[in-house]
Structure 1
Amino acid sequence: MNLPVVVGVDGSEPSLRAVDWAADEAALRGAPLRLVYASLWERYEGDALAEDLGKDSGQVIAEDIVQAAGQRARLRQKDVEISTDVVPEEPEYALVRSGRAAAVLVLGTRGRSGIVEMLLGSVSLSVAGRADCPVIVLRGSHDNQVRAGKQGRVVVGVGEKGTSSAALRFAAEEARLRDATLEVVRAWRCPAHETTDHPLLAGEPARLHERHAAEVLDEALKAVPADVESSRRTMEGPTRRVLLAASQGADLLVVGARRGSGHLGLQMGRVAHGVLHHAACAVAVVPERT
């Protein structure tokens, strides 16, 4: 049986749009969809919402939020098997645990109010930095691009690991499912101490670094399945800036996040953290085991 696509639900509009994305993702994968609501979200906004609806907060959480999200998913993808789960835990813990038996986790980034907006943003970052499976975080209104042919580009940043990259494998599969082009990107920089003032040697260090980046991409592309259309791009500059530029007009930007055994706290890195905040499309953070 295929592992499910799991989506975090909190009743906010961005989380419901994440349900749309997750339902489409499940349909493309032929996988079940699991909607997870962490009940301790009630601590932050359940009472106010309950008062608006004239119900106690328990009823709001159990009936309105989960039921509405499940109904939305069924209307979106009627052939997808859907289940819901209310978990009596803090959302980051519940979602990270759910990700241990998931193909992918899908999250929105914003809540219903300014205070909750910051809270749910921190939840998304926390889950992306700890989960054992790929985590797709939807940014702003970039939340309806999962259907095949929307933009036609899945972008992945490639490091020195090249063909062994879990991020590359995930990106290739996403491109295949969407019938999209996989764009493999490698950033390169010429260290200042390697520059020279000699007119005959000017530019040679930069060409060497660019050539090495191209060689890394050539090796990485060997691992891309034959049925996935792919292209490569080398760009000079810091990795975060290069990937943010490449995210323009893309369906999905995929980045790796190193996970080391025995480490606590966020394990994501500055590049993944930066693109989660500023990318022009949805971002998938894929764990890379070290």
Structure 2
Amino acid sequence: MKPRKQAYPQRLRRVLVATDFSESSTHAIGRAAYLPLEAGAKLLVTHALPSRMPTEVGTRALQGTARELERVAERLRKALRTAGSSATVETHISRGKPVDALLRRADAFGAELILLGRHGAKPLRNMFLGSTAENVIRRGHLPVLIANRQATGPYLRPVAAVDADATSRNVTGFVPTLMTPGSELTLVHAYDVPLEYAVFPGLPSKERTQYQKTFKAAAERKLSALRRELDARGVPHQLVMENGGSRSIVLEFVDDQGADLLALGTRARSGVAYALLGSVATDLIREAKCDVLVVREREPAA
């Protein structure tokens, strides 16, 4: 029996938007206004203040932060009304280290997504590592959307970097939530041809081509379950496969196609900073010019 197609897309109901009042945070606020939101959805705009400050300084900081936070929230409310959304916007000031405070508030709020900006006026190597975004991904469990540039509309050209593993299924399970009706998800997969440079010198051109096709076909078979799941949910998609390194293939495709969202996954209990430091995933997050969605692998049951 064929699985029944589900309604597409599923819309967001609760989103936490982090702000430090910087330009990159402005990108996050702007993106929030274009998210596919359920009727009556709630957005929480939050900022963290240090837990220890002299009383007088702390009082002034709290009052000033509250005023600025409300101004940011009101801009978002106006943008949502312009978009015809009935979503509501609340504010919250947390105390403590930004990452700890943000993750606590996200859990208390019941957030389905954390949205934040990425500081861009830094060298590539320092743009992501050690940032709030990196630590939220590494230590949290919720999907994280990093707004890398000013939003001009909903996502129309989303791309997901995929492999035949659980992290890719988690990504393709969530990314349709951010898609606009009528848009198509492009799955990009880089496959490997073992010993290509050692084998090819001794093969005629026709046999070289067949050798490559063998491994491409194997990769397609491994991804077939992922595609069936998307078909069952009624998610329009296409698969692009290239032989070579994942980093260069994905980044080149994102740039060439003008993608506005790149989605990828990380593994549970490790995250980017532990298991993927210096790897393809971290490079993609650092270097992608579009917004980036990172979905964590689900934690195993205790």
Q: For this structure pair, what is the TM-score category when the shorter chain's length is used for normalisation?
A: 0.7 to 0.9
Q: Output the amino acid matched with 1:181.
A: E
Tell me what 2:140 maps to: 131
Tell me what 1:22 maps to: 32
Pairs within 5 Å for 1:272-283: 272-283=281-292
Partner Cα distance (1:242, 1:42) in 2: 47
Alpha-carbon contact 2:271-2:296 (below 8 Å) kept: no
Pairs within 5 Å for 1:142-153: 143-147=150-154, 152-153=156-157
1:146 is displaced (CA, Å) by: 4.9
Tell me what 1:191 maps to: 194
Alpha-carbon contact 1:130-1:265 (below 8 Å) kept: no
Partner of residue 257 from structure 1, selected from 263, 266, 269: 266
Alpha-carbon contact 1:109-1:120 (below 8 Å) kept: no
Q: Is residue 2:48 matched to residue 1:38?
A: yes
Partner Cα distance (1:132, 1:89) in 2: 20
* CA displacement 1:99-155 (0-9 Å, x = unmatched): 4331111110128999xx96997111111222211101112x2x315526xxx2211
1:94 is displaced (CA, Å) by: 1.7
Partner Cα distance (2:36, 2:274) in 1: 27
* CA displacement 1:39-69 (0-9 Å, x = unmatched): 13999xxx9xx9xxxx9433322222x1121
Q: Output the amino acid matched with 1:108.
A: G
Q: From the superposition, tell whether residues 119 and 155 of structure 1 become closer, same or farther in structure 2 (CA, over 3 Å).
A: closer
Partner Cα distance (1:67, 1:170) in 2: 30
Q: Output the amino acid matched with 2:178.
A: E
Per the normalisation by structure 1, the TM-score is: 0.80
Alpha-carbon contact 1:13-1:111 (below 8 Å) kept: no
C-alpha RMSD of the superposition: 3.4
Tell me what 2:117 maps to: 108
Q: From the superposition, tell whether residues 207 and 112 of structure 1 become closer, same or farther in structure 2 (CA, over 3 Å).
A: closer
Where relative contact order (Cα < 8 A, 6+ residues apart) is larger, the structure is 2
1:38 is displaced (CA, Å) by: 0.9
Tell me what 1:246 maps to: 253
1:162 is displaced (CA, Å) by: 6.5
Partner of residue 77 from structure 1, selected from 67, 76, 80: 80
Partner of residue 63 from structure 1, selected from 64, 67, 70: 67
SS at match of 1:57: helix
Q: Is residue 2:10 matched to residue 1:4?
A: no
Pairs within 5 Å for 1:279-290: 279-289=288-298
SS at match of 1:232: strand
Alpha-carbon contact 1:163-1:223 (below 8 Å) kept: no
Tell me what 2:227 maps to: 221
Partner Cα distance (1:26, 1:163) in 2: 23
Partner Cα distance (1:90, 1:129) in 2: 15
Unaligned regions of 5+ residues in structure 1, if any?
none
1:251 is displaced (CA, Å) by: 2.1
Partner of residue 211 from structure 1, selected from 209, 217, 238: 217
Tell me what 1:180 maps to: 183
Partner Cα distance (1:188, 1:265) in 2: 22
* CA displacement 1:205-235 (0-9 Å, x = unmatched): 4222211222233331110145322111101
Alpha-carbon contact 2:167-2:296 (below 8 Å) kept: no
Count of residue correspondences? 270
Among all aligned residue pairs of Structure 1 and Structure 2, give the percentage whose two residues are the same amino acid: 25
Q: Output the amino acid matched with 2:144.
A: V
Q: Output the amino acid matched with 1:246.
A: F
Q: From the superposition, tell whether residues 42 and 57 of structure 1 become closer, same or farther in structure 2 (CA, over 3 Å).
A: farther
Q: From the superposition, tell whether residues 222 and 120 of structure 1 become closer, same or farther in structure 2 (CA, over 3 Å).
A: closer
Q: From the superposition, tell whether residues 255 and 118 of structure 1 become closer, same or farther in structure 2 (CA, over 3 Å).
A: closer
SS at match of 2:273: coil
1:9 is displaced (CA, Å) by: 0.8
SS at match of 1:159: coil
Q: Output the amino acid matched with 1:208.
A: T
Per the normalisation by structure 2, the TM-score is: 0.77
1:91 is displaced (CA, Å) by: 1.0
Q: Output the amino acid matched with 2:186.
A: E
Partner Cα distance (1:124, 1:135) in 2: 8
SS at match of 1:206: helix
